Structure formats: C-alpha cells, structure tokens
Amino acid sequence: MQAAGFHLAASFPLAALQEPHLQGWMDAGYAGELEWMQRHARTRSNPVAAFPRTKTVTVGLFEFGAPEALPPNEARIAHYAQGTDYHLVIKDMLRVAAAQLVAQVPGVWTRTFVDADPLNEKRCAELAGLGFIGKHTNLIVPDRGSWCFLGLLLTSLVVEDSPPPQPERCGSCTACLDICPTKAFPQPFVLDARRCISYLSIELRGVIPRELRALMGSWIFGCDLCLDVCPWNRFARQTEAGPFAPRPVLRQDLPQWLRLTAEEFDVVFRDSAMLRTGWRAFMRNVLVACGNQDDATLYEMVLPWSKHPDALLRLHAHWALGRLAPAEARLWQQECANAETDAAVLEELQLTLKETA
C-alpha cells in the first residue's frame, strides 16, 4: 500500500469488524436523510456474510495535511474538498495497490472501497491499529492528526490476528464538542448528523431547518471546526502541492459565488468533491452564508434570487434578505407574499415578516 502512495497501511481480519452501536444510532434518527446508511445497514451488521470471499481488510491512510493559514474568508469550504475529489485519487491508488498485490500473489481476490461504500473506513482504521476515534467521531492518528483520507483493500488473503487497538486519548478535552455552533454532538463520540453543518450543506438537498441557518456562519460546503480545534492536529504537516492542494478558483467571496451559473458550476467543480451538492443546493448554501454576514451591501445581490423560479432558492433568499436589511426587505416581501404560490416559501415569508414587524 505504501508503494502505491499511502503514508500508512495496516490490516485486520474482516471477522473482527463489528459496529454494535450502529443500529441504535440510526434508530435515534441521527442519520437524518442519509438513505444509503439504511441501505447498507444489513451489510454493516454482518460484513462476513456480505463479503464471503474477503478474509482481510487492509486500510490505506493518506495524510493530505493541515490547511494553510489564510486570511478570513466570508465563504468557507471544508479543507478536504478544496482539491481534486479524493474518491478519484484514492480509488486510483487502491487500484495500483491491488495490482501490485496480484502481481506478488497470483490468484488473490481483491476489491477496493472509498468512502460511500458499505463499510465504515474510520472503524476499519481503528481496528487496524492506525488510530482511535475521537469525541468528534473522526479518526485521530496520534502523530499525524485527522487530516487524512482512507481507502480499503479487501482481499482473500488470511491474517491471523488483529493488531492491538490504540487507546482512546481524548482525555478530558471537549474542544471539538464546545466549538460546534449547531450542537451536533448530543454526547461525546455521538454525532447527530441532522445538526451537523457538513450534513446540512452537503447531504441535505431540501430546506435547511430555520433554527440552524444562522448557526452555519460562512460555511458553503462542509465544516472544519471540530478538526481545527483538535489538539492532536498540531502534529499534522502542512498541505503540499499535489492533487489535494487547494484550487485558487475556490477562493472566491460570496458576491462572486452569487454570480455562479449552473453551467459554470460543472466547470469550476470538475473532478471536485463539491460536485456532490449540485448547483441548486450549493447556491442555497451561498444564500444562507449571505444572510449570516453583517454586510448590507449584499442585499442588492441577493434580491434577484428572491424572484428565482426555484422555490428552494427563493425561500433561502427571502430569509437572507430579512437578515441583511430587514426594514428595506419588508415592503418587497409583503408584495412577494401576496403573489407567492409555494406553501413553504409563503410560510418563510410570513415568519420573516413577523420577525421584522
């Protein structure tokens, strides 16, 4: 695996993979609209039955590095998504590793997974002894931190024992829990995805809950807050040039993003993980970020979005207008309410008008 480009790699028997808390987490509703979690629940509850040819899981870890210090930007994008889509890069690295193994052991069976597949990479990395799961539910590698991508290579090779697990070493630190503005951690080591800014800005495609919008700040894709404050990340190296280096085109401010068309979205985010949201949800996020700025000059730029044909975008634009310049927006929103035909947008208008009365 290291010959294929991974910084660390370790293996464990598939039979050791268990997730005893998964069903309870889903039953609590913490998965939100992550339908793929439900689809993969049976596989994750009995991976040996789901992958009968697999005996061993090898976990490859690639450290993409801590973000460089940049001036504050009013449009924030999670660090992992600022370069080339890691699914593409890590998948290619896994294919190289699989080919190298087959060359060494003819006849061996292999299969590769990256992220959105039915095995939990973080749990696998923990079982492989690469690190421990922190209170923010992310993997922590003691001498590297958490700015890492993971890939899985399943094989028919047999390993006898699992490596010893690393002890959980968060101690009394609660920095990651305390900084979360939406309070997405009901308790340490438990994430309520429905309140997580990453979920809200990426996985949720519809209306962002009204009570959470003002808590999302300037994040337009993902969130790094719980990783930024983790003391273990002081050991992370800085991001180097390569596929995961931040693309300069992504360092734009909110007025620039407000001008982005659907056609331009596909060009700007080619080979980027940010394609996942689609233009519609991305612009929804930008409008919410606008509403969280103390900058009334954004009002005129957001105003046309309140007349957009897409009800989802109209709704979030009206919310933003009501926060950017409530007095100026009130008369316009009264006119819009009289003509609005979408029930959700009309409800948003009524709530906004009530708040600015």
Q: Do residues 66 and 147 lie in contact, with contact meaning Cβ atoms separated by under 8 Å?
A: yes
Active-site residue, selected from the candidate residues 115, 117, 310, 342: 115
CA 227 to mean position of chain CA atoms: 12
**115 classed as catalytic:** yes
Question: Measuring CA to CA, which residue among 151, 169, 166, 150 is closest to residue 230?
Answer: 169
Residue 129 φ/ψ region, left for φ over 0, alpha for ψ in the -120 to 50 degree band, beta for the rest: left
- Give the pair of three-digit tokens for residue 301: 């730029």
As annotated, the active-site residues are 115
